[in-house]
Amino acid sequence: MGCSSSLATQQPGTGFVKVFRRGQQQQLLLQHQQDNKLQQQQQENEESPGTTVLDSQQRQIVQDTWVQLQPQRANIGKQVFLRIFEVEPRVKTAFKLGSTWGDSLINNTTFQKHATRFVDTIGYVVDNVDHLQTEGDPYVLAIGADHRDRDGFSVRYFDVFVKSLMFVWQQELKEDFTPETRDAWETLFEYMAQKTKAGYDIAMKGKDRERQT
């Protein structure tokens, strides 16, 4: 998640993430909404996947604790990726870092860019936590779609991202990582995982259609 330079860039000196390729994002969102309608028709009385929403208290918790994490912003992305690589080493290959280890990995420019963009993506979602359907959905769907061309990438890696994020957040927030804080962030990260999976799935189906033509 958050590893495509073509989708978003962090503006120096601000916490604002500028979104590009709006047309592609809206197309993905439309396809995702159509897929959800089909799922709702099949499961009339059940909540369709990917519709997780934070309540007002959870949104406030996320925003407040995100402020606490800002002094460590430059490092938490690296910590998350290191944890991901520890839990699932094959992710390194998908990000073309399979033969890089130790200090060489930490100082690797590609690794640092991935880590920074990853945190920038979380920052964008937190900044728009009150408008996830209109702002978060198209952005995160597009992030998922951009993973379609990563050789060796698996959709299940998005779940590894969630577990790794929760691990690092607990380490960073320490005693402030209360059960309520855990639930709020887990809800947000699960939302992001669901949307990236949906975007990835839509993109892979499109890739399959391209191969058939």
Q: Which residues pair with 8 in a beta bridge?
A: 19
Tell me, yes or no, whether 92 lies in a domain: yes
For the entire predicted model, the pTM comes to 0.76
| Nearest one of 113, 111, 95, 115 to 103, comparing CA atoms | 111
Encode pLDDT of 44-103 as tens digits: 333 443 344 799 999 999 999 999 999 999 899 999 999 999 999 999 999 999 889 999
Is residue 155 a contact partner of residue 197, using CB atoms and an 8 Å limit? yes
Q: Which of 77, 89, 83, 90 is nearest to 150 (CA)?
A: 90
Q: What digits encode the pLDDT tens for the residues 6-48?
A: 444 333 333 333 333 555 566 666 666 656 554 543 443 334 4
pLDDT of residue 69: 97
**Could you tell me if residue 50 is inside a domain?**
no
190: domain CATH number is 1.10.490.10
12 belongs to a structural domain = no
- With respect to residue 148, please indicate whether it lies within any of the assigned structural domains: yes
Q: Residue-wise over 42-74: b if at least 16 C-beta within 10 A, else e?
A: eeeeeeeebebebeeebbebbeebbeebeeeee
Domain count, the chain: 1
With tokens 């439309």, the residue in question is 30
Paired tokens of 91: 């992710």
Domain interval for residue 178 = 73-213
Phi then psi dihedrals of residue 46, to 5 deg: -120, 150
Q: Is residue 38 part of a domain?
A: no
135 domain residue, yes or no: yes
Chain mean pLDDT for the chain: 82
In a domain, 178, yes or no: yes
Distance, in Å, from the CA atom of 40 to the CA atom of 148, rounded to the nearest integer, reads 26
| Residue 86 counted as domain residue | yes
